Chains A and B, each alone.
Chain A
Amino acid sequence: MTENQPIVVAENVCFTYVKGQNQTEAIRDVSLSIRKGEFVSFIGPSGCGKTTLLRLIANLLEPTSGSITINGKTPFQARKENDFSFMFQEPALLEWRNALHNIILPLELSKKAAREDFKTIAQGLIEMVGLKGFENHFPRQLSGGMKQRVSIARALTMNPPLLLMDEPFGALDEITRHRMNFELLQLWAKTNSTVVFITHNIREAVLLSDRIFVFRSQPGRLMEIVNIDLPRPRTIELTDTPEFNALHVQGERYLEEAIRDVK
């Protein structure tokens, strides 16, 4: 029923950074539609505007021209109504708060839940991301992977329909990143959220996504959309199938093309 309804719609979005006399065209004429419950990845060379586009969706930037809607609302309204969470490349935790109180932060700021329920909600999320026993640990006492788990739990606190993730695992080591990918897939399966995920890693994008949006740079444009018709739940075994590898190679080719374009 709601399956094919779009949640994010961008129409002819352009964005130009203006700094003094300098103007940098970051995005030119991007139109796309992301369906409810979908997991999509943005991929492309540096400077292709994928982060800019994500920040436009999150109302951290305003389009120079064109329009973006989230559930039919403007990004501003969507932000005010907590329709999305934004996850940054760094965990972005408050170092003076322990894990539990970092997760409570969105509830405190929005005042949407009763204060008595804060801890119960956060405790549930702590267990969901596998950090039971670390509630009272401060960020500096947690490993990189654990911090990013706290960050995921915090992003899920308000149960937002849309998760915007800007290379959330980019700073993690390969082993941790690999594990976090599968954990993210499990969490996503439990929620009804739509995920927009930015990455440089094609393997990661193929493993996670329903669709991959490939961007090219200077200025940033949407180049190609790759459908990933692999069965879910996605497993480690899947990554060893010819289908997976074919998509991986196809992704590599597109990315190469996107990069070749620049030179």
Chain B
Amino acid sequence: MSNNSVATNSAEIPANKVLITGKRSKILYPIIGLLVILFMWEGLIQFLQIKTYIMPSPSQILKAFLDGYYVILGKNAWVTIVEALSGYVIGAIIGFLMGIIFAQFRFMRLAFLPYVVAATTVPIIAFAPVVIIWFGPGMLSKIVIVAFLTFFPVCLGTLKGILSTNRVLKDLFYCYSANKLQTFFKLELVNALPFLFTQLRLATPAAVIGAIVAEFVAANAGLGYLTVRNWYVLNMPRLWATILVACISGITIYSVMSAIEKLATPWHESTEADQ
């Protein structure tokens, strides 16, 4: 109808083709979306005259951040990230090894697997005080808590990955007289990798959240510690800046793990699907 009135010289481009596609669009459109959200946020705060201690506007948060707070924030974010990553790596290694042990020994599965599954339901917030009594208010207790949170999904993912090895492929290896080690390394372990990496990726948010929650309970540094401090003095712009940095840390670690996953299991379907 009226859409041909727009174009005279650059005519025949249908309206839906105006969208930029390809790689650029993946960066461009989210940025547009973010700007829209920030503008609406800023506008609503100004328009409704909401008080800063209820909800600060993006510009107030930015001002607080640039006003020297970024130094404190950087130092404390580093503490949290070190806690989260150390605990994550330790938990992942132990979980991976235990997953292998569970997969190899039926007895271990029967005797202990129910408790591993049950332990995943332990509310970490209730468990944190105990760990802090054992390991003190420093970084160690946070690392233990993050390791605990990472252990279970990685252990179960490894186990499931190994046990889900296709029966026919096992028969194939048997027909070629593969020994136990060959079957494990060339078949079962590789088969488990997509499961393992999915769990590793999904465990990253819990690692950051676990460290922050533990800092809430007792700490002398870290993003959780800063959150509590800012909350007590009702410094909302700084509190929000802290929350945003916590989000960005989580997203960054998650993205890095996604990238590693794609590199490590290029054959796996999910790697292709979410392009």
Q: How many residue pairs between the two chains, A and B, have CB atoms under 8 Å in the bound complex?
A: 51
Is B174 a contact of A96 with CB atoms below 8 Å? no
Instruction: Provide the residues of chain A in CB contact with B193, threshold 8 Å.
Output: 96
> What's the Cα separation between A108 and B172 when bound, in Å?
13
The B contact surface, by secondary structure, is helix
Say if the beta carbon of A80 comes within 8 Å of chain B: yes
> What's the Cα separation between A103 and B174 when bound, in Å?
16
- On whether A96 and B176 interact (CB within 8 A), knowing A88-B168, A88-B171, the answer reads no
Instruction: Provide the residues of chain A in CB contact with B166, threshold 8 Å.
Output: 92
B-facing mask of A138-155, CB < 8 A → 1, else 0?
Answer: 101000000000000000
Chain B 172-209 interface residues, beta-carbon cutoff 8 Å to A:
172-178, 182, 186-187, 190, 193
Say if the beta carbon of A90 comes within 8 Å of chain B: yes
Chain A 48-66 interface residues, beta-carbon cutoff 8 Å to B:
58-60
> What's the Cα separation between A143 and B27 when bound, in Å?
35
Is A109 a contact of B269 with CB atoms below 8 Å? no
Instruction: Provide the residues of chain B in CB contact with A193, threshold 8 Å.
Output: none
Chain A 65-122 interface residues, beta-carbon cutoff 8 Å to B:
79-80, 82, 84-86, 88, 90, 92, 94-96, 105-106, 108-110
Residue among B166, B174, B176, B265 facing the most chain A CB atoms (10 A cut-off): B176
Chain A positions within 8 Å of B, measured between CB atoms, are 58-60, 79-80, 82, 84-86, 88, 90, 92, 94-96, 105-106, 108-110, 138, 140
- On whether A79 and B171 interact (CB within 8 A), knowing A94-B187, A138-B267, A140-B267, the answer reads no
Is B186 a contact of A88 with CB atoms below 8 Å? no
Q: Which residue of B lies closest to A80 (CB)?
A: B177
Supplied contacts A95-B268, A110-B177, 20 more A-B pairs, CB within 8 Å: A59-B175, A60-B171, A60-B174, A79-B174, A82-B176, A82-B177, A88-B168, A92-B166, A92-B169, A92-B171, A94-B169, A94-B187, A95-B267, A96-B265, A96-B267, A105-B186, A108-B186, A109-B177, A110-B176, A138-B267
